[in-house]
Amino acid sequence: MQRRDMMLLAGGAALAGVAGRAQAQAPVRWDVSLPWGPSEFHTVNAQNFAAEVKKATSDSVQMTVHPGGALGVRANETVRAVGDGVVPMAESAGFQNVGDVPILGIESVPFLVANYDELALMHSLVRPTWERELERRGVKAMYIVPWPTQNFYFKKPINTAEDLRGVRMRTYDRVTAEMCTRLGMVPQQLNNPDVVPALASGRVDAVMTSGTTAVAQRYWEFLKHTYTTNHLWASNLMLVNLESWRRLPAATRSTIEGIAKRMEPEFWAVSKAEHATRMAELQRNGMTVDAPTPALVQAMRTATATMADDFIKANPAAGPVIRDFRQRVGRA
């Protein structure tokens, strides 16, 4: 081989080595789909998480948060979309994906969970089942964070169960639709981005959600009365495609898991502070904020009393979890 040919070969090998190193060092870029608006605290949490991951991995993993459903992933299709690799990462509420993972709806069984402490207990009991079911669908949960206390929002004052009859109420899923039906309301299942158009068109007369969403969607433009019913809980799951996750180096996965474990309690603290803040904001914008009357609470509890048992019949894996939970909180 002539000297010129040897130099060309050597130069080509060097260039190939440089290209290989550049490719190996190229950052992993994940788009993160969120249905929530840019100002809602779950979106801010996701942005903070992405920033911490980018910093801790020296820019080798970069997550770009896309709020408001900008990537076209509907909230109730999130588990499927992440598992199928439509997006590498996304967040939505558990109740929105009960069509794919029914036991995600356990915390939205009416009046099963009373407060944040009980919710943390429930998560400690059911999270292994959630994670196992998600993994079967090619998905991993990075962190799980609840919405604040759930409320009812109406156009008119509500004092008794009779006042609920015929009201077209926005619901989340089959469980909340059943609750509304038992109370004489007409359920209208809607994803988060569809609520304001439904209010504007008159499709719904009332909404159930947290104060966070009520403020973000400016409910005072359509509704007048807030009742702090605390009738169920809803938590968001930040999900990542399992194949994408496993392609990361083990050390990188360990780093990201450590960040999620550290930040999840911080995100819970943000959630706890949200309720009072948003109730005050609703009041400043002309809405009333009241506890439901004892008569209304009793009617709601009576109408939904068998729904936990119904949930267990439909989801047998929930039975041991609910029984253990009730025993631990003293409501066995």
Backbone angles phi, psi at 253, to 5 degrees: -60, -45
- Decide if pLDDT at 22 tops 50: no
Mean of pLDDT values over 261-274: 97
Which residues are CB-contacts of 105 (< 8 A; sequence separation ≥ 6)?
Answer: 94, 95, 98, 173, 174, 175, 311, 315
Instruction: Provide the residue ranges of all domains of the chain, joining segments of one domain with +.
Output: 27-329
Query: Which tens digit of pLDDT belongs to each residue from 175-230?
Result: 899 999 999 999 999 988 899 999 999 999 999 999 999 999 999 999 999 999 99
pLDDT of residue 24: 54
Which residues are CB-contacts of 76 (< 8 A; sequence separation ≥ 6)?
Answer: 92, 96, 97, 99, 191
173, burial (CB in 10 Å: exposed 0-12, middle 13-18, buried 19+): buried
Backbone angles phi, psi at 19, to 5 degrees: -60, -40
Token code pair at residue 133 = 């079911």
The residue type found at 287 is: M
273, burial (CB in 10 Å: exposed 0-12, middle 13-18, buried 19+): exposed
Q: How far is CA 56 from CA 23, 42, 62, 116, in A?
A: 20, 21, 11, 30
Confidence band, pLDDT 50/70/90 cuts, at residue 304: very high
Interstrand relation of 28-33 and 89-93 (parallel, antiparallel or unpaired): parallel
For 27-329, the fitting CATH number among 3.40.50.150, 3.40.50.10470, 3.40.190.170, 3.40.50.970 is: 3.40.190.170
Q: How far apart are CA 6 and CA 250, in angstroms?
A: 40
Select from 164, 146, 147 the least CA-distant residue to 155. 164
Contact 163, 225 (CB under 8 A): no
Query: Which tens digit of pLDDT belongs to each residue from 218-257?
Result: 999 999 999 999 999 999 999 999 999 999 999 999 999 9
Q: How far apart are CA 212 and CA 326, in angstroms?
A: 29
- Decide if pLDDT at 19 tops 70: no
Question: Any bridge partners for residue 189, and if so which?
Answer: 171
pLDDT of residue 71: 96
Q: With H, G, I as helix, E, B as strand and everything else as coil, classify residue 3.
A: helix
**Helix pair 174-182, 307-314: axis angle to 10 deg:** 150
Number of DSSP helices (H) and strands (E) in the chain, helices first = 12, 11
Query: Which tens digit of pLDDT belongs to each residue from 96-138?
Result: 999 999 999 999 999 999 999 999 999 999 999 999 999 999 9
**CA angle (99 as vertex; 226, 96 as ends), nearest 5:** 30
